[in-house]
Amino acid sequence: MSVTRRTLLTSAAAAALAAQFRIAPASAQEKVIRFSMPQDFTKIYTFVTAEYNQGQRDYISLVNARGGVNGYTILPDVSDHGNDLPRAIEAYERARSQGAVLVDPLSTPVARALTPRALEDKINLITAFSGRSDAADGTVFPYVFPLSPNYWTQIALLVDYFRQQSGDLKGKKICFVHIDTPFGKEPLPVLKRLQEKLGFELSTFPYTPPGNDQSAIWPQVRRTRPDWIVFWGAGVGQTVALTEAIRNGLPLSKVSSSVWLSESDMDVVGREQASGVLKIEPCASGRTPKLIQQILKDVVEPGKGAGPADKVGTAYYNYGVMLASLMVEGVRQAFAKAPQGPISGSWLNAGLTSITNFDAEGLIPPTTVTREDHQGGGKARIARWDGAKFVPVTDWFSAYSDVVWAVIRESAAEFQKSGK
C-alpha cells in the first residue's frame, strides 16, 4: 500500500481526534482528599438534596477552614445525576478515575446500581437513608456504608415507641400507608415479624407513585379506627399524606413517619395544622447543636455558606452535616491508623470501620461503626412537630435489633449467594 498524502492527512486527523479523548491521569494534587457527591438536584429529590448537600458542604468548609484533617483539605466534588443511571455511572467512574475515596449519591436507585461497582472497585459508597438496607451487614457489603439507621431500624424504632406509649400493643391497630414502590414496601418484612411478636393488627394501604392523590386511601384509614398510623413515602407523597391525615381528622399525635419529613414539608402542609406529627430523628435538628452554631459563626456569617442562610438548621441540612461529620471522622480515624496513607478507598474504609462512640459534639447519637455493623448502632430518637420545630420526645434508643438484624442477615445472605 502506497502512502499518499491523503492517507497521511486522514490518519493524522484521526490521531489528533483520538488524542483529544485521552485525558491526563488525575493530577496528583498534593494534600487533597476527594469526596464525590453526585446527587439528584433536578429530578425527584430536589429540595431534599439541596438542603442535604448544603449541610455537607458547609461542614466540610468548616473543617477546611480549621486547617483540614492532618494537613489535608477535603474537596467535595458536587454534580447532578438527575437520578438517571447512565449519568450516575458516568459520575461514579469519573470520581474513580480522579481518585475519589468516597461516593455519596443520595439516591436509592443509584446506590443500588452502584453497589456491585463499588464492591469491586473498593470505593466507599455512602448510602445514608437510601440504597440497600441490608448493606448494614458489613461482612457482605464491605464498601457500602449506610452510616445511619436503615428503614428496617426506623420502623422498629417507631413500633417500639408505640409500645412504650400504649403499654402493650396486643390487639392494637397499626395502619401503614406507603408509596407503592420497592422503597415504600421495604419496612413490611420487619413490620410483619413484629406483628407476630407483639400481636398488633396491621393494615397496609399502598398509594400509587408519586402520590399526589391519596384521597381514596385516607378515609379507609380513618374507618379502620387505627391506634397508630405510619406513613412512608418521599417528596410530594409525604406532604399529601400529612394533608390528607389532617383533612380526615386523624389525631396527629398518633401519626408518624420516617426520617423524610422536614420544615420544608411543613411549610407546604401548614406549620400550625401539622403540629403533633411524629418522625424519626437520626440527628438533632434546629440551630442549637454545637456544630451548627460553629458553622453559623465560622462559615455562614463570613459569607462562605453553600446556600441560603435560612436553610441552616433544617432537618435535611442537619442530616447533611451529620453524614459529612461521619465521613470526616472516618478520614481522621484513617489517618490515626495509617498516617502515611496511601490515600485510597481501602485506606478510608479502615477509618470508617473504626469510628467509635462518635457523637459529632452532641449532634448525633453515639455512633460506632464496625466491620460487621455499617449502620453505626442503629440509634435514633422520635421527635414531635410542635408547630415551629421538631421537639425530641425520647432519648436516643435502638429497638428490636434482633428482628432487624435477622432480616438484614437474610437479605445480605441472599445477595451474597446470587452476586458472587
Partner 1 sequence: MFYRRAGTLHTRYQDERQLWPFAFDRGLVAVAFAVLLAAPFVFERLYLVTYILPWIIWSTAALGLNLLMGGAGQIHLGYGAVIGIGAYASVHLLRVGVPLEIAMLAGGLMSAAVGSLFGAAALRVKGLYLAMATLAMQYIVDFLISHFEFISGGTQATLQVPPVRFLGVPLSSDGAAYYFALGVCVVVTLFMLNVKRTSFGRALAAVREKDYAAAVIGVDSFRFKLLAFWVSSFIGGVVGSVLAVSYYRAISPDQFHLDLSIQLVAIVIVGGLGSVLGSFFGAALILFAPIVLNHLVGAGAALLGLSISAELRAHLPLMLYGAMIMGFLLWEPLGLAKIYNNARNYLLVWPFRHAR
Question: Under the criterion CB under 8 A, does residue 54 sit at the interface with partner 1?
Answer: yes
Question: Under the criterion CB under 8 A, does residue 84 sit at the interface with partner 1?
Answer: yes
Kind of pairing between the strands at 390-392 and 32-39: unpaired
Please tell me whether the peptide bond between 342 and the residue prior to it is cis, using omega within 30 degrees of 0. yes
Single out the segment in contact with partner 1 by CB under 8 A; choices: 130-138, 228-236, 329-337, 384-392.
130-138
Question: Under the criterion CB under 8 A, does residue 173 sit at the interface with partner 1?
Answer: no
Question: Under the criterion CB under 8 A, does residue 1 sit at the interface with partner 1?
Answer: no
Instruction: List the one residue from 93, 168, 213, 267 that touches partner 1 (CB under 8 A).
Output: 93
In the complex with partner 1, the residue whose CB is nearer, 18 or 28, is 18
Q: Which of 289, 320, 268 is nearest to 56 (CA)?
A: 320
Q: At residue 311, what are phi and psi to the nearest 5 degrees?
A: -85, -10
Question: Under the criterion CB under 8 A, does residue 182 sit at the interface with partner 1?
Answer: yes
Single out the segment in contact with partner 1 by CB under 8 A; choices: 215-223, 323-331, 350-358, 407-415.
407-415
Kind of pairing between the strands at 173-179 and 228-232: parallel
Instruction: List the one residue from 35, 41, 59, 400 that touches partner 1 (CB under 8 A).
Output: 41
Question: Under the criterion CB under 8 A, does residue 301 sit at the interface with partner 1?
Answer: no
Tell the smallest beta-carbon distance from residue 87 to partner 1 (Å): 6
| 155, containing H or E segment | helix 151-166
Whole-angstrom Cα distance, residue 347 to residue 101?
8
Instruction: List the one residue from 50, 100, 128, 295 that touches partner 1 (CB under 8 A).
Output: 50
Quickly count helices (H) and strands (E) in the chain.
Answer: 14, 12
Question: Under the criterion CB under 8 A, does residue 56 sit at the interface with partner 1?
Answer: no
Cα 193 vs. chain centroid, distance in angstroms? 25
Tell the smallest beta-carbon distance from residue 274 to partner 1 (Å): 25
Residue 122 and residue 346 in contact, taking contact as beta carbons nearer than 8 Å = yes
Q: Per-residue x/- mask for partner 1, residues 210 to 249, rule CB under 8 A?
A: ----------------------------------------
Question: Under the criterion CB under 8 A, does residue 130 sit at the interface with partner 1?
Answer: no
Whole-angstrom Cα distance, residue 261 to residue 263?
7
Question: Under the criterion CB under 8 A, does residue 413 sit at the interface with partner 1?
Answer: no
Cα 65 vs. chain centroid, distance in angstroms? 25
Classify residue 268 as exposed, middle or buried by CB count within 10 Å of its CB (0-12, 13-18, 19+). middle
In the complex with partner 1, the residue whose CB is nearer, 185 or 271, is 185
Tell me the three state secondary structure of residue 201: strand
416: which 3 cell numbers? Answer: 451474597
Instruction: List the one residue from 94, 222, 332, 409 that touches partner 1 (CB under 8 A).
Output: 94
| Other C-beta atoms lying within 10 Å of the C-beta of residue 68 | 18
| 165, containing H or E segment | helix 151-166
415: which 3 cell numbers? Answer: 445477595
- Binders of partner 1 in range 6-25 (CB under 8 A): 10, 14, 18, 21-23
Question: Under the criterion CB under 8 A, does residue 109 sit at the interface with partner 1?
Answer: yes
Q: Which residues are near partner 1 by CB under 8 A?
A: 10, 14, 18, 21-23, 41-42, 50, 53-54, 78-80, 82, 84-87, 89-90, 93-94, 96-97, 109, 112-113, 115-117, 132-134, 180-182, 185-186, 188-189, 306-307, 407, 411, 414-415, 418-420
